[in-house]
Amino acid sequence: MATQLKEFATNLVAVVEPDTSAVMVAQLMRRHHIGALVVVDALDKNKPVGIVTDRDLVLELMAEGLDPAVFTAGDIMSVDLVKAQPEMDAMDAVLLMKKYRLRRLVIVDKAGNLAGIVTIEDVLGLLTHELAELAGDLGSARDRETREQVMKQTA
């Protein structure tokens, strides 16, 4: 499976600036049915500076009983972004996700500009597709072998 991230990752990424309220972050996640927003530099909206997830909202604010109206994406975002390149092989991305125990990787181009995001669900979809194709190919080979054996027996 030599598939590059740019072939299946999402290139339309929901972003917020660091000063976006945590309430707005939660509302955007709900509106777009997503579990994370990439936080971009307020002056250069192409530069990712962090990521905020639904888990961040729950563990950093809700579980602590803090008022989400007072906090911003910048207050709760993860700043240690693990970044991937669009040309990265999907299996290398899986290894990176495993190493850092991540559900998503932010994809940046060579200039460090936001180019996309890949989630564990994206990877699972790709693997499911690859396994389905393999199963189909194996089934076709088995059927061909069966036909050949029948032809030999009747000849």
| Residue 143 pLDDT | 62
Q: Please state the φ and ψ torsions of residue 101, each to the nearest 5 degrees.
A: 55, 55
Mean pLDDT of 85-105: 95
Tokens coding 76: 């709760």
The answer to whether 11 and 116 are in contact (CB under 8 A) is yes
Q: Please state the φ and ψ torsions of residue 37, each to the nearest 5 degrees.
A: -130, 135
Look at residue 141 and tell me whether its pLDDT is greater than 60: no
pLDDT digits (tens, 9 = 90+) for 142-152: 666 666 676 67
> Mean of the per-residue pLDDT values for the chain?
90
Question: In which order are the strands placed within the sheet that holds 104-108?
Answer: 83-84, 104-108, 114-119
The answer to whether 67 and 76 are in contact (CB under 8 A) is no
| Residue 147 pLDDT | 63
pLDDT digits (tens, 9 = 90+) for 36-92: 999 999 999 999 999 999 999 999 999 999 999 999 999 999 999 999 999 999 999
| Residue 135 pLDDT | 76
List the domain boundaries for the chain.
Answer: 5-119
Amino acid at 148: E
| Residue 129 pLDDT | 75
Alpha carbons 47 and 101: distance in angstroms, whole number: 23
Multiple choice CATH, 5-119, 3.40.47.10, 3.10.580.10, 3.60.21.70, 3.50.50.60:
3.10.580.10
